[in-house]
Amino acid sequence: MVAPTVKLAVRDLRIAYGEEEAVSGISLDVHANEIFGIIGPAGSGKTSFLRALNRMEMFNDDMHVSGEIVFGGRDISDIRNVYALRQKIGVVFPLPVGLPMSVYDNVALSPRLRGVKNKAALDEIVERCLTRAALWDEVKDRLKALGSLLSGGQQQRLTIARALSQDPELLLLDEFSIAVDPVTTMRIEDVLRELKEEVTIILVTNLVQQARRLADRTAFFLSGELVEVAETEVLFTGEVKDQRTRDYVEGRFG
Amino acid sequence: MPADVGQPPTKTAMDLDVRGQDWYVDKLVSVLVFVGGISAVVLILGIFVFITKEGVGFVFGPMEVWEFFTSPFWRPTSRTEATYGILALMVGTASVTGLAMLIAVPFSLGAAVFIGEFATGRTRETLKVLVELLAAIPSVVWGFIGLAIMNPLIIETFDVPIGLGILNSGIILGLMAAPIMTTIAEDALKAVPDGYREAAEAMGATKWQVISKVVFPAAKNGLMAAVLLGVGRGFGETMAVLMASGHSINLPTSVFDSVRALTATIAAELGEAPVGSDHYRALFTIGIFLFLITFVINLMADIVIRGGGRKR
């Protein structure tokens, strides 16, 4: 068997907010074109982990990150253009963020920032991204409407469409389905399964069943530590190395 | 490259070192913004250095610091024995500002609550525009109102010999400070998320309960800042107080007494004091004192705004 390509390698990652350590030395590999699930109870460091991947500690003076994050073979702490890095890594936050501009402009923002001006090219990107995010049919007649006026679930799909419009290599999803109804969640999950042909996806979720449905491999975080990481089916049905993992996926604590 | 990853960097990963035009524009803008921010600091420091330089010779020279703050006798132009005591001036400023705040705080908070929480649609928009218009009235016009309208009104109503004093200038200053305080207080109320109001209203809380138990606590810092900025405005106001206070040196015993304010003293006398004289430098010392008071008030407003923000 050929060794899988490592898209993202994390080595001894530690994240602290002031004195308080949120992530205490996590090491793992994420393979190219897989959906990598991260599960764990509140406060286990899942979100901090995601934020560090996009160098978001720059927004928060209190947040200190140490260790290595290697993206595509490069340590992201010594790249020269952090904006180029962020453009390659799409992020979807738990609560939808419809920017205060039209639906069309929301999705066209990132291509425009990259310098795409051609109307036809923009139209094509907008339609493709909205379709993939399972939103096109609902908004195609009101692309000029304000994005922030859509319903919560629609805004979340708009947020996903916007992340896709960046043409990312790595997509970080932080509890994307909190504000989305179950039917739409299923549709987005189908989309994610198709997307992994092109991008690598890291899925942080509180719904262990969602990780089971979607993820190829899953990591279990607890109190800032990586308890274990394994093929998803192994984690849920096979021999887990740690009893705490079994307890959590079976809903006995968390 | 970390050894244990064992894969060479991909093409896109190498591209992350490319700094395009956007990157340089970003750096240029950060430098420009930094220069803009620093220039404000430099200007303020410059002003402080200037007034300190003019006044400092007096502070460490002929002035008795204790006497300066505790003597009620401000006789800078006396031929026999000039004295420089600002107690009466401080009491003047403090009493006028105090009365102004007694008037302005309830008015402006009430107006802010009405505009922000009760008024809707046209009423609300009209009121906001009117309040902003009020804030734009020049202070000399307020002083004129104090002299020409309030003065005879006070004489007639209270049967006193003169209507220029604490009462007159306090009312004028209160009316002057109220619009700006209203605007800031309303901004603070507007910053409270509607979700808070809806959550409280959904429990069956009355409008007033929502405002007093939920909106006020949430907007507390902004409201405090509005009041403190009003106080700062009161200390700093010159022209209206000069015109409405009577401008006579006095330790007041009633609200009808004439007083003189620190600011008004500088405005009225600096033009006539010979440059470099004790009088001139004493006026600059008052300037330093006012600068420090305003600085402390603004600092308090700032701490109030941030202090609460941290805890939440």
Residues across chain A: 254
Q: Which of A75, A76, A169 sits opposite B12 (nearest CB)?
A: A169
Strand partners, B29: none
Neighbours of B286 (CB within 10 A): 23
Q: 3-state SS string over B34-93?
A: HHHHHHHHHHHHHHHHHHHHHHHHHHCCCCCHHHHHHCCCEECCCCCCCEECCHHHHHHH
d(CA B55, CA B221) in angstroms, rounded, equals 36
Name the residue in chain B with its Cα closest to that of A75: B1
Q: In the predicted model, is pLDDT for residue B253 greater than 70?
A: yes
pLDDT tier at A2, thresholds 50, 70, 90: low
pLDDT band at B4 (very low <50, low <70, confident <90, very high): low
Nearest in space to B233 (alpha carbons), one of B185, B305, B175: B175
What is the per-residue pLDDT across A43-61, written as a single tens digit (0 to 9) for each?
A: 899 999 999 999 988 888 8
In order of A15, A182, A232, the CA distances from A217 in angstroms are 23, 23, 5
pLDDT one-digit tens code per residue, B113-158 = 999 999 988 999 999 999 999 999 999 999 999 999 999 999 999 9
How do strand A6-17 and strand A20-31 relate by DSSP bridges? antiparallel
Domains within chain B, CATH numbers bracketed: 86-311 (1.10.3720.10)
ipTM above 0.90, yes or no: no
Helix, strand, coil share of chain B (percent; to 5): 75, 0, 25
Q: What percent of chain B has pLDDT over 90?
A: 61
Cβ within 8 Å, pair A81-B23:
yes
Instruction: Work out the average pLDDT over B243-262.
Output: 91
Amino acid A199: pLDDT: 92
> Is A72 within 8 Å of B15 when comparing Cβ atoms?
no
Cα–Cα–Cα angle for B115, B194, B183, nearest 5°? 30
Chain B neighbors of A2, CB-CB under 8 A: none
Compute the average pLDDT of residues A214-220.
Answer: 95
For B309, residues 6+ apart whose C-beta sits below 8 A from its C-beta are B221
Short-list B243, B249, B242, B276, CA closest to B75: B249
Residue of A nearest to B27 (CA): A81
- A206/B141 Cα distance (integer angstroms): 64
State the smallest CA–CA distance between residue A250 and chain B in angstroms. Answer: 33
B positions 26-85 inside 8 Å of A (CB): 26
Nearest CA in chain B to A82: B16
Q: Where are the domains of chain A?
A: 6-249
Question: Is some CB atom of chain B closer than 8 A to the CB atom of A84?
Answer: yes
The encoded tokens of residue B35 equal 């220069």
Cβ contact, residue pair B12, A79, below 8 Å: no
DSSP state of B251: -
Q: What is the pLDDT of residue B90?
A: 94
Q: Which two tokens stand for residue B60?
A: 């460490």
CATH superfamily of A6-249: P-loop containing nucleotide triphosphate hydrolases (3.40.50.300)
Helix axes of B262-269 and B87-113: crossing angle, nearest 10 degrees: 120
